[in-house]
Structure 1
Amino acid sequence: MARPHIEPFCDRDVAFKKMSLAGFGNGMHYKMLSFDPDTGACSMSVQLDNGYRRAPGFSWSEVEMMVIEGELTVGGRTCRKGHYFYVPAGYALPEISTQDGCLLLFLTNTGEPSHQESDSHHALAQTDLYHDVDSYMDIPWALGNVTKPSVANGCLIKLLNFNPISQAMTFLYCMTPNFSQDNISYHDCAEESYHLWGTSWMMQFGNLPTGGYFWRPAYINHGAFASEFGCIALGRVDSKLFNHFHYNPWTTPQENRERSAARLYKRDPLLYRWAVSQNHNHPHSPQDFEDTMSRRGAEQGHDNEHKTDGSRHDHWHGHNHYDDGSAYKH
């Protein structure tokens, strides 16, 4: 992703702006937390005014939402503080409204915010991926050891969304009172966090209070960490989370990248040598044969239900599967 490093930032320090994009109606205001200039994907805190209504419809980007304060009515169902939504692109939500106003965290992952009025899903929407949950009441806290090596004791999580292909995750995490961890960390993925409540401290960036936010690209040093009274935050990573711990605060992102590559070489030397050899240096990644292999029961010669990731695979990749001059085209 092309979002720049933003840390620390607190949305309480800036004013709301009026949302003027088509489809969102009157009474929606936003504070931009981070923005990808290449795709338009962004993270915003959003204020909906008393009496706000949005017609049924879908977004051209997948969207994640969290109710921070107040109540949001979705299709006649009241969703309160802590309610989380994962909405695939093209999935039509019913009318949303709020009687007394509410504050939301609003995240678009693959494009700019959009709203296409519709009573039905887009034909290509992965409707089975939609889910919403009262994250405060209906999911128990679990140990924070979702990856090894793990964070120190006292950091707990609630997993909200997981992509089985990229291993990207969205989760709530909390630091219990007097939590601390004395080492420095970086990751091979971008990391994002919004403080729903409480304050944490980080050696490089100081205190991050309620409303505090960061977008941290891969290989940026961060830590040590602490929280005197505890905090609760929503966190996201855009691919597999691995904690590279160390104790040198002066290393650069380039040095951290090289260390990650060196660790890959030690762990998987044959894979590393193959991947970086001149004849196998694929800028867009090598081909996964399971993504393109022929399937029995194909529709028009292709099976568009790839089962390995547990979700529908839409077969159009922007190219045709035929040779020039062939009579067989689709």
Structure 2
Amino acid sequence: MRAHVELIHEDDYIWHVGELPYGEGKVRERRLSVDEEDGSSSLSLDFPADWGRGGGVPHANTEFYVVSGSLSYGGTELGAGGYVQVPKGVPMDWIKVREGSRVLHWREYGDCGFDPDARRWADAVGEVTVLDSNRMEWTEAPSVGPLTPLYIKLLHRDPKTGFYTRLIRAKKGWTDHRLAHHPCYEEFYTLGGKMAYNFGDIDDGTYCFRPAGVKHGHFIAETDIDWIIRSDGELINWYTTEEWVKWGGHAENYDDHNHDHLPVISTLPVRSRSRGAWTGDGM
């Protein structure tokens, strides 16, 4: 299980040497969210020099999304908005990334292991997906759910599990005052725009990983805003209104009328310094 991360800005995180075995060149990574039990990771990659790797088989469901710069997959050149998904155990072609590029990278249900020039695993399911999202049309989300329309570009969906990756756009003024939670996890990385939110301000480079069942809400889009969003199953919105929390007790030796003295709920999410203090709104 990964920790509840909400919100962090990636610029508050340190760089590590990138874990992309058998690659040649330079790559570094910010670890936005990691599951130390199975190796699942959500990473922001930076390429100080050209980098590349030959074909082989990844040990995890693997995704790349180009934020800026250029990535080539098997000879297909992808700029900002380019997307590659490779199922676990399925051979992938060679990949090259140009110096100065920024790429989001996910590994799901496995670690960074990679077998060069290997054959397809016997139990592998699916095929490689390569997309230029700029060539896709935005489609309006179904009206059931958010109070005002959202727009979607579906990048990948597992037909068996419902696991999906998609781009989401909210227009300026999009709002939903309700609290929602889901039966699946939900994570997002903000590609552009600004939104006021109960966990803190959302802007370019902000990231969230929210385990199943965690409430969130009170959204107001201050500009048009785009995210890349992933969930490990069918995303159903369960809404809460007129929310309340049973929380308290007798204050023995502190002032229970002084906000600075009050205890906080022990399950606070991981936050980074630029997001500032959080009041607990929405929980």
Provide the TM-score with structure 2 as the length reference.
Answer: 0.81
Counterpart code for 1:209: D
Q: How many pairs are equivalent? A: 246
Could you say which residue in structure 1 is the equivalent of 2:122? Answer: 124
Counterpart code for 1:36: D
User: For 2:125 and 2:235, how far apart are their aligned partners in 1?
Assistant: 26
- Kept in 2: contact 1:19–1:30 (CA 8 A): yes
Counterpart code for 1:184: L
Shift of residue 250, structure 1, vs aligned partner: 3.3
- The CA deviation string for residues 196-226 of structure 1, in whole angstroms up to 9 with x for no partner, is 11222212x0112111110001111111111
1:138 aligns with 2:127: no
User: For 2:244 and 2:156, how far apart are their aligned partners in 1?
Assistant: 34
Unpaired runs of 5+ residues, structure 1, are 253-330
User: For 1:65 and 1:21, how far apart are their aligned partners in 2?
Assistant: 12
Shift of residue 70, structure 1, vs aligned partner: 0.3
Provide the TM-score with structure 1 as the length reference.
Answer: 0.70
User: For 1:166 and 1:21, how far apart are their aligned partners in 2?
Assistant: 27
1:49/1:115 Cα in 2 relative to 1: closer, same or farther (>3 Å)?
Answer: farther
1:178/1:92 Cα in 2 relative to 1: closer, same or farther (>3 Å)?
Answer: same
Shift of residue 251, structure 1, vs aligned partner: 4.8
Counterpart code for 1:111: G
SS in 1 for 2:11: helix
- Kept in 1: contact 2:194–2:223 (CA 8 A): yes
Could you say which residue in structure 1 is the equivalent of 2:157? Answer: 162
Deviates more, 1:158-167 or 1:120-129: 120-129
Counterpart code for 2:54: A
Aligned positions of 1:85-104 closer than 5 A: 85-104=84-103
User: For 1:243 and 1:171, how far apart are their aligned partners in 2?
Assistant: 16
| Rg larger in structure | 1
User: For 2:222 and 2:212, how far apart are their aligned partners in 1?
Assistant: 27
1:116/1:248 Cα in 2 relative to 1: closer, same or farther (>3 Å)?
Answer: farther
Could you say which residue in structure 1 is the equivalent of 2:239? Answer: 245
Could you say which residue in structure 1 is the equivalent of 2:47? Answer: 48
1:206/1:99 Cα in 2 relative to 1: closer, same or farther (>3 Å)?
Answer: closer
* Structure with a larger share of its residues in helix: 1
Counterpart code for 1:53: G
User: For 2:5 and 2:223, how far apart are their aligned partners in 1?
Assistant: 24
1:228 aligns with 2:228: no
- Kept in 2: contact 1:198–1:230 (CA 8 A): yes
SS in 1 for 2:111: coil
SS in 2 for 1:12: helix
Shift of residue 125, structure 1, vs aligned partner: 6.3
Could you say which residue in structure 2 is the equivalent of 1:219? Answer: 213
- The CA deviation string for residues 210-267 of structure 1, in whole angstroms up to 9 with x for no partner, is 1111000111111111111121111011112111112134358xxxxxxxxxxxxxxx
Aligned positions of 1:55-94 closer than 5 A: 55-94=54-93
SS in 2 for 1:239: coil
Shift of residue 124, structure 1, vs aligned partner: 2.4
User: For 2:20 and 2:79, how far apart are their aligned partners in 1?
Assistant: 26
Unpaired runs of 5+ residues, structure 2, are 247-283
Aligned positions of 1:1-330 closer than 5 A: 2-20=1-19, 22-118=21-117, 121-124=119-122, 126=124, 128-135=126-133, 137-145=134-142, 149-203=144-198, 205-251=199-245
Shift of residue 128, structure 1, vs aligned partner: 4.2
Instruction: State the percentage of identical aligned residues.
Output: 25
User: For 1:239 and 1:99, how far apart are their aligned partners in 2?
Assistant: 33
- The CA deviation string for residues 151-179 of structure 1, in whole angstroms up to 9 with x for no partner, is 12231111111122222221100111121
Q: Compute the RMSD of aligned alpha carbons.
A: 1.9
Counterpart code for 1:187: H
Deviates more, 1:65-74 or 1:123-132: 123-132
User: For 1:225 and 1:108, how far apart are their aligned partners in 2?
Assistant: 29
Higher relative contact order (CA 8 A, sep 6+): 2
- The CA deviation string for residues 267-292 of structure 1, in whole angstroms up to 9 with x for no partner, is xxxxxxxxxxxxxxxxxxxxxxxxxx
